């Protein structure tokens, strides 16, 4: 018959401080088991096992650049698609650009610009110290 503490251990219930203390002491009392388990023979891996592992690792090494290349390739395709969309989008907007102005409008515009620049030059020249002596 199991006593209540062993029942609780088997059911993995939370233990009180007193029970935890008992458990720590009981574990110390089982140290010969730990010693015996640590002395169990170690099944060492054979050379054939190691060779097979090396083969699998080589496969993993070769697979990684392929995965990276695929990722980079997909990234490149995505960027190219975005760029293409942007360019085709510009073409679409080109349709909305207004018609070029007539020759007459261009000449009037150029004349207006020239007038403004002459006025600016004249205003600037008033500050010329050479004029002050006049």
**In the complex with another protein, which residue's Cβ is closer, 30 or 88?**
30
Task: State how far the alpha carbon of 31 is from the alpha carbons of 5, 10, 12, 20, 127, in Å.
Answer: 21, 20, 22, 17, 104
List the one residue from 49, 70, 73, 105 that touches another protein (CB under 8 A).
Answer: 49
Output the smallest distance, CB 32 to another protein, in A.
5
Q: Which stretch binds another protein (CB under 8 A): 3-11, 83-91, 97-105, 106-114?
A: 3-11
Classify residue 99 by its DSSP letter: P
Cα gap 132→95, rounded to integer Å: 57
Decide: 19 and 8 in contact? Cβ < 8 Å: yes
> Can you give the binding site for another protein, defined by CB under 8 A?
1-3, 6-7, 9-12, 14-15, 20, 23-24, 26-27, 29-30, 32-34, 36-46, 48-50, 52-53, 56-57, 60-61, 64
């Amino acid at each position: 018959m199991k006593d209540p503490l062993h029942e609780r251990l088997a059911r993995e219930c939370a233990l009180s401080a007193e029970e935890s203390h008992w458990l720590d002491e009981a574990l110390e009392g089982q140290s010969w088991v730990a010693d015996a388990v640590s002395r169990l023979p170690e099944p060492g891996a054979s050379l054939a096992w190691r060779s097979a592992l090396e083969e699998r690792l080589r496969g993993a090494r070769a697979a990684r650049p392929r995965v990276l290349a695929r990722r980079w390739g997909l990234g490149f395709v995505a960027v190219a698609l975005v760029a293409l969309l942007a360019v085709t989008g510009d073409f679409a907007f080109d349709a909305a650009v207004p018609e070029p102005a007539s020759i007459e409008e261009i000449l009037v515009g150029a004349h207006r610009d020239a007038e403004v620049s002459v006025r600016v030059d004249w205003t600037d020249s008033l500050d010329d110290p050479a004029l002050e002596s006049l």
